[in-house]
Amino acid sequence: MKVAIIGGGAAGFFAAFSVKEHHPSAVVTIFEKSDKLLSKVKISGGGRCNVTNACFKPSLLSKFYPRGEKQLKKAFSVFQPKDTVAWFAKRGVFLKAEPDNRMFPDTNDSQTIIDCFLKEAHTKNIKIVKNSAVSSFADNDKGISLSFKAGTQQFDKVVLATGGSPKMRGFEWLQNPGHTIVEPLPSLFTFNMPKEPIRALMGLVVENATVRIQATKLQYSGPVLITHWGMSGPAILKLSAWGARLLFKKSYQFNIQVNWLSIKNEEEVTLFIDEKLPSIRKKKMANANPFEIPNRMWMHLLEKVQINADLPWYELSKKNKNKLINVLLNDVYDVCGKTTFKEEFVTSGGVSLEDVNFNTMQSKLCKNLYFAGEVLNIDGITGGFNFQAAWTTGYIAGKLN
């Protein structure tokens, strides 16, 4: 059996290994259009490669994918982070989990993953052809023929692992023979707030905030980082990924509502203040911040609701107390635009999941064609989830079922 893998990235290599595991006598060739292999693996995770995430429950794991959740839940029951860890360990690469569950090679060097893959490809006799872009494919009686600059080649089976593209143009050749392409849109970006004075607090982190996009059900809790152009941090990035399509429709003009506290409602905050009051009543509000938010944020919020910071707590009027509680729990900001988060840039969009059978990763429209990796309309939030999707879909595709 002659098998072509299109794309020498994470998903392509993993699919090739899986083909050789399940069909040892298959002749497997990886075609890579550039002169570099695994280039994204090299730069991933700040050069450390966040290989996967120590979340070992498929139902929980799939919740980290704004697009692909339902389909991946099933796929993770076949190959999940536990299998990734075991796969690498078997080849002498040990992954360690950080407190936030992100998993890296214990060398903290993405080159370890690349070396492992190149060695494995060599051992398994997988042929690699660089500078070889596939420009089109055609289904025929004998399998699939692929077109290259130098001519066409015939294969029995093909795994398409060409990665994502920020532009529709990058996917156009895959529309044959009728695959639907979901328009690529940015996911994982930070919010620009050019009109908001909070930008003066750049560098400040509020650990346990909840951010909601007004007039929607979209909300996320976690650290929020104030930047010189607006807001970033895990809560914002997750919100951007889940809201990618909606926020695009709004031309990235919308309001967010921030709860800066881990306390979630008005009654609880009132109770909390009333409990603290006896010990702080004579202190100036500026000097007695009872909440777990940084003092610079506390001062910013007092100023925002025009409460005199030199006022002792006991002189705080009922009206001002309500204003304070409101700004702590429902602080509104005007978002105008986005900035792409460069560290882990993925685009939503790609081959529609409706066109793929997730038991096999086989195209529903072209029986000898399989898909793996970011070419599909799958994207995860930051944390090693995107590579895990590449390993899982690559592994299943490589079974060639």
Ligand X SMILES: Cc1cc2nc3c(=O)[nH]c(=O)nc-3n(C[C@H](O)[C@H](O)[C@H](O)COP(=O)(O)OP(=O)(O)OC[C@H]3O[C@@H](n4cnc5c(N)ncnc54)[C@H](O)[C@@H]3O)c2cc1C
Chain contacts with ligand X (rule: CB under 6 A) = 6-12, 31-34, 39-40, 43-45, 49-50, 133-134, 161-163, 344-346, 373-375, 384-387, 390
Minimum separation from the CB atom of position 96 to ligand X (A): 14
Burial 175-189 (b: 16+ CB within 10 A, else e): eeeebebbebebbbb
Q: What are the structure tokens assigned to 101, written together?
A: 């569950």
Output 147 or 257, the one with its CB closest to ligand X.
Answer: 147
User: Which is closer to ligand X, CB of 158 or CB of 239?
Assistant: 158
Contact assessment for residue 283 and residue 276, using Cβ atoms and an 8 Å cutoff? no
CB of 134 to ligand X, least distance (A): 4
Structure tokens belonging to residue 227: 């930047």
Coil vs helix vs strand at 151: strand
Cβ nearer to ligand X, comparing 126 with 346 = 346
Number of CB atoms found within 10 A of residue 9's CB: 27
Under 8 Å between Cβ of 324 and 305: yes
> Least distance to ligand X from the beta carbon of 377, Å?
12
In the complex with ligand X, the residue whose CB is nearer, 84 or 289, is 84
Question: Taking the complex as a whole, how short is the minimal distance between the CB of residue 95 and ligand X, in angstroms?
Answer: 12
Q: How far is the CB of 388 from ligand X (least distance, A)?
A: 6
Closer to ligand X by Cβ: residue 165 or 289: 165
Cα distance between residue 15 and residue 170, in whole Å: 21
Distance CA 211, CA 251 (A): 19
Distances (CA, A) of 86 to 60, 75, 205, 375: 20, 17, 36, 26
DSSP string for residues in 277-325: HHHHTTSBGGG---SSS-HHHHHHHHHHTT--TTSBGGG--HHHHHHHH
Dig out the tokens for 166 from the structure: 């920020």
- Residue number, 211 or 372, with CB nearest to ligand X: 372
Query: In angstroms, what is the minimal distance from the CB of 235 to ligand X?
Result: 19
Residue 33 vs 82, nearer CB to ligand X: 33
User: Cα dist. 321→157, 224, 305, 383 in Å?
Assistant: 69, 24, 10, 40
Residue 362 CB, nearest approach to ligand X (Å) = 17
Nearer to ligand X, 47 or 194 (CB): 47
Q: Least distance to ligand X from the beta carbon of 114, Å?
A: 12
Rounded distance, CA 82 to CA 86, Å? 6
Smallest distance from the beta carbon of 204 to ligand X, in angstroms?
A: 26
**C-beta of 38 vs 324, nearer to ligand X:** 38
Contacts of residue 24, Cβ cutoff 8 Å, sequence gap at least 6 = none
Q: Structure tokens of 302? A: 């007092």
Residue 327: alpha-carbon gap to chain centroid: 30
Q: Is the dihedral of CA 367, 372, 375, 379 positive or negative?
A: positive
Tokens 């849109």 belong to 185
Q: Tokens 């940015």 appear where?
A: 186
Ranked by CB distance to ligand X, the top (closest) residue is: 9
Given the complex with ligand X, which of 29 and 259 has the nearer CB atom?
29
Least CB distance to ligand X at residue 34 (A): 5
Alpha-carbon distance of 152 to 320, in angstroms, equals: 75
